[in-house]
Each structure stands twice: as C-alpha cells, then as structure tokens.
Amino acid sequence: MAKAKTLFTIGYEQTPPKAVLDELEQAGVKLVVDVRAVTSSRRPGFSKKQLAAGLDGRGIAYVHLAGLGTPKEGRLAARSGQYDVLEKIFSKHLKTPEAREQMDELSALVMKAGPVCLLCYERDHTHCHRRIIAELIEERDGVTVKNLAGRQV
C-alpha cells in the first residue's frame, strides 16, 4: 500500500523568516503554497517576492493561489476574533469558480509535488482559513495534515 502524502500548514505570525524557513526545511517541504489573498506584508521577509526568494535559497518552490485567500470581510472577522464568521465567509467563498479551480490545482500539487505546505499569516491553524483548506484536501485526497510552527520571537 502506498504511503499517504503529507500536507503541512504553517503561519508566520510572531515568527521570524529564518525560523519559518528552518521549520519548512526540517519538515522536508518542497513546495510552499501561499494561500493569502494579499501577499504584501508588514513583516519583513514575508511579502511575496521576499518570501519566494528566501524559499528558493533553501531549495523550496513557491506558488501563490490567491483564489484560496480569505475575502476582505473574512480577514476583518478574523482580526476581531470572530472565527465562526470567518469560517462561514470562507466556506461561501470556496463555492466560487476561482476557488474551486484552485482547490483542484492544490490537490494536483499535493499529489505530485512532494511535501507541500500551505502558508498564511495566522499562527494558530485553528483560527485560520488554511485549516479548512487542509481538511478538505485531507478528506478529498486521503492525505495526512501536519501543522508546523516556527520558533516565536
């Protein structure tokens, strides 16, 4: 029987770039899938170009799937701690054609690209939309989900 693929997730909140990169490298991640709607960041090292360059320096590929990012109203709900509202908004968003297409793309990447990790801002995966994505891929493709956390500052 084939060994189940692993889908990792990680959030970079309160974590320096080096700690995130170290954690990804130690886990054997080969591809980071950025599931943020907005890839600019006030945190140095986590804007799209900086992040992709840092990952590339570790031999880790980078893909941004904007269609799997949380809509603005979901991000506002998360910032105010309304995680149940975030979940409702994001679940509705996942029914859009773009999100469905990108879920299919993510599924294909997980099955062929080697260890994949979903990346978003929120450190606690239980408060982040990436948990919903990971659970759907877990159910759909029979992968194992593991949540990573880099050393906090």
Q: Is 94 left (phi over 0), alpha (psi -120 to 50) or beta?
A: alpha
Q: Are strands 61-64 and 116-120 parallel, antiparallel or unpaired?
A: unpaired
Calculate the CA 77 to chain-centre distance.
18
- Predicted pLDDT at 3: 57
SS3 call for 117 = strand
Residue ranges of domains in the chain, CATH in brackets: 6-146 (3.40.1010)
pTM, full prediction = 0.93
Output the CA torsion sign for 47, 23, 60, 70: negative
pLDDT tens digits, the chain, 153 residues: what are they?
455 789 999 999 999 999 999 999 999 999 999 999 999 888 889 999 999 999 999 999 999 999 999 999 999 998 898 989 999 999 999 999 999 999 999 999 999 988 999 999 999 998 899 999 999 999 999 999 999 998 876
